[in-house]
Structure 1
C-alpha cells in the first residue's frame, strides 16, 4: 500500500485535497488492466468497454502480473495510485479462457467483484454503424426476472449500473439519449445455475413520425458480448454499510405530514378541527329562509 504523502506546495495540497472524502463525491474513475496473458477477444472487450466509459477511465496497455481473486494487493495498489474505485481486469488461460473481472473498491480496498467468461464478442469495429458521442449517459435495461432473484445476477446488475451510470441528472432530454445498453439473462442451466448473460449496445436514431415526438429506432453499435458467470465475491457486511452510508448534509429533513410516492409526486396532509355546520355560509335560497312566526302564511290569506 502507498503511504499518504505530505504536500510540499500549494499545487500538491490542492491535488491531495481533491482526493479527500467529500459530501458530493467526484465521478468515479475506472481502470482497465491487462493481465500477463490475454487473448484478442479480451483485448477487444477491454478496448470497447474503455471507450464506453471515457472520459473517466484509464487504460493500461502494458502487461501486469495480477490475479484479483488470489491476491488483491495489485488491484488495491493501482486503485490508490490512480484514485479509482472501479476496475476491469482481462486475462486468458487454459483453465479460464477469455476471463474478464469487474469489481469495485472502497477506501482503496476491494469491495466486491465478479468473474465473467466472454463466450462471444463482436467488437465495435466489426459493426458498421455510427458511434455515440464520448461521455454520454446510457439508458440501462435489464431483461429477465433472474436479476431480482439470483444473488450473482443481482451483484452483476449492481456493478454494471455503477460502471456505466455517468453523471447524475434530474432530467434527460430525448435528443441527449444516444446510448442504450441492454442486459438480458438467458435460461438457466440444468443444474440451476445462471445461464449466459447477453450484453448489447445500441445507438438511437430519430425518424419522422408525423407528430411532434419523433419515432425512435435502435441501431446496434457494439460491443456485443455473451457472458457466463464464473466466480463472485460479495461485499463484507461492515464494509458495505460504510460504503452506502449517506452524509448528514445530503439527508432530506423530514417535514411533518408531507410524503412522496414512487414517482416523486409530493403529497401533503392537512388536519382540520371540528367544524360547526350551522355556521357555514350557504347559498341564499328562498326555500332555506326561516319563516317569521308572526307572518301569516299564504294559506291563511286565501281563507
Structure 2
C-alpha cells in the first residue's frame, strides 16, 4: 500500500487513469530518437519513418548518448515518461554505420530489440508525386520464407507489425486502402518499400489497382538481436479473461464459417395438434358415429 500513488487534484487523477491498465489498451505510441553520433542518412530515415507513424509517434530532436544493447535503462525511463511502448533508435559509428534499432517494451521493460543496418536508402523527397496523407493506416505485406521459418525473422515480423499497424478499426472504406508497406526477406537482407495504391477504371464495379512507389525505400541487413524468452514472450501476449469470447453451447461452425445451432425439443403428440378447421374436412354425423363405434370395439377387445 505504500507504493500506491493517490491523486491530489482532478488533473492528476485523470493522468493516473489514462496510465492505468485497461482491458482494451490504447494505440501503441512510438518514440523516435537519435544517438550521440548520427549520419545524414540516419537522420533523414528517422524523419521519414516519423512521417509514416504520425500522429502516434514522438520525435526527439536532441541527441541521446546511450547504447540500448549495453544499457537499456534510459530507454525504459523515456518510455515510462512518455507512455510509449515502441521505440526506434538511430546511430552511426565506424563499426556499425547507419544503424537502426527497432524495439518494444512490456511493463516499461525492454522485451525485444533488433538492430538493422542501412545499406541503401531513398527518402520521400527523392520521389516526385503525391504522398499518402498523415495518419493513413497502411497495409503490411511480408514476402520471403525466412519470415515463417527463422526465429529471428519471425520476431522481426511481429515487431514491424506492432510498429506500423496503426489503430485497430472495425471497417475500412475502399478509398482508404491507399498505402502499402512491403517487406521482402531475400539472401540475408530485408527490403522495405512503400507504395501508394491507385484505383483505376476497370469497366466493372471492382477497380483495377496499380502501385506507385512513394518512399521511403530501405535495403536493410540484420545485425544484433535481443529477444525475450519464450515464457516472457507468452506472458506479454496473454489476454485478460474478460476479452476471451465465451463459448456458447450447441453452436458450431464448419470449415466455411457457416453457423449451425442444435435445438433440443421434447417429444410431441401430433394427434392433439390443432389444425385449421375447414367446412370441407368436417365429418358427417354418420361418419362420426361410425368412428366412435370402432373406437368402442377396440377398447372392449383390449379389455
Asked if Structure 1 and Structure 2 have the same fold, meaning a TM-score greater than 0.5 normalized by the shorter chain, the answer is: yes
Are residues 1:23 and 2:43 paired?
no
Q: Do the aligned partners of residues 250 and 261 (structure 1) sit closer, same or farther apart at CA in structure 2, a change above 3 Å counting?
A: farther
SS of aligned partner of 1:118: strand
**Equivalent in the alignment of 2:72:** 72
Provide the C-alpha distance between the structure 2 equivalents of 1:262 and 1:35, rounded to a whole number of angstroms: 51
* Shift, 1:136, TM fit: 1.1
Provide the C-alpha distance between the structure 2 equivalents of 1:109 and 1:53, rounded to a whole number of angstroms: 22
Query: How many equivalent residue pairs?
Result: 267
Cα displacement string for residues 146-192 of structure 1 (whole angstroms, at most 9, x for unaligned residues): 110011111110001001111112332211111100000112xxxxx
Per residue, is there more helix in 1 or in 2?
Answer: 2
Specify which of 210, 213, 217 is matched with residue 224 of structure 1: 217
SS of aligned partner of 1:217: strand
Cα displacement string for residues 244-269 of structure 1 (whole angstroms, at most 9, x for unaligned residues): 11111111001124345677x24325
SS of aligned partner of 1:43: helix
Provide the C-alpha distance between the structure 2 equivalents of 1:261 and 1:179, rounded to a whole number of angstroms: 34
Q: Do the aligned partners of residues 99 and 5 (structure 1) sit closer, same or farther apart at CA in structure 2, a change above 3 Å counting?
A: farther
* Shift, 1:236, TM fit: 2.5
Instruction: Please report the TM-score for the alignment, with normalisation by the length of structure 1.
Output: 0.83
**Equivalent in the alignment of 2:299:** none
Check the 8 A contact 1:138/1:181 in 2, yes or no.
yes
SS of aligned partner of 1:15: helix
Provide the C-alpha distance between the structure 2 equivalents of 1:207 and 1:74, rounded to a whole number of angstroms: 49
**Equivalent in the alignment of 1:284:** none
**Equivalent in the alignment of 2:275:** none
**Equivalent in the alignment of 2:286:** none
Dislocated runs of 4+, deviation >4 Å: 3-6, 260-263
Are residues 1:153 and 2:145 paired?
no
Q: Equivalences for 1:176-187 in 2 at 5 Å? A: 176-187=176-187
Check the 8 A contact 1:30/1:56 in 2, yes or no.
yes
RMSD: 2.2
Are residues 1:214 and 2:207 paired?
yes
Provide the C-alpha distance between the structure 2 equivalents of 1:142 and 1:4, rounded to a whole number of angstroms: 44
Are residues 1:127 and 2:124 paired?
no
Residue segments in structure 2 that go unaligned for 5+ positions in a row: 272-303
**Equivalent in the alignment of 1:233:** 226
Are residues 1:113 and 2:105 paired?
no
**Equivalent in the alignment of 2:196:** 203
Provide the C-alpha distance between the structure 2 equivalents of 1:4 and 1:67, rounded to a whole number of angstroms: 32
* Shift, 1:6, TM fit: 4.7
Check the 8 A contact 2:250/2:263 in 1, yes or no.
no
Q: Do the aligned partners of residues 262 and 95 (structure 1) sit closer, same or farther apart at CA in structure 2, a change above 3 Å counting?
A: farther
Provide the C-alpha distance between the structure 2 equivalents of 1:202 and 1:95, rounded to a whole number of angstroms: 32
Check the 8 A contact 1:258/1:266 in 2, yes or no.
no
* Shift, 1:85, TM fit: 0.2
SS of aligned partner of 2:11: helix
Check the 8 A contact 2:193/2:213 in 1, yes or no.
yes
Provide the C-alpha distance between the structure 2 equivalents of 1:66 and 1:48, rounded to a whole number of angstroms: 22
Are residues 1:268 and 2:260 paired?
yes
Instruction: Please report the TM-score for the alignment, with normalisation by the length of structure 2.
Output: 0.83
Check the 8 A contact 1:129/1:219 in 2, yes or no.
no
Cα displacement string for residues 2-31 of structure 1 (whole angstroms, at most 9, x for unaligned residues): x98653310111011101100011111000
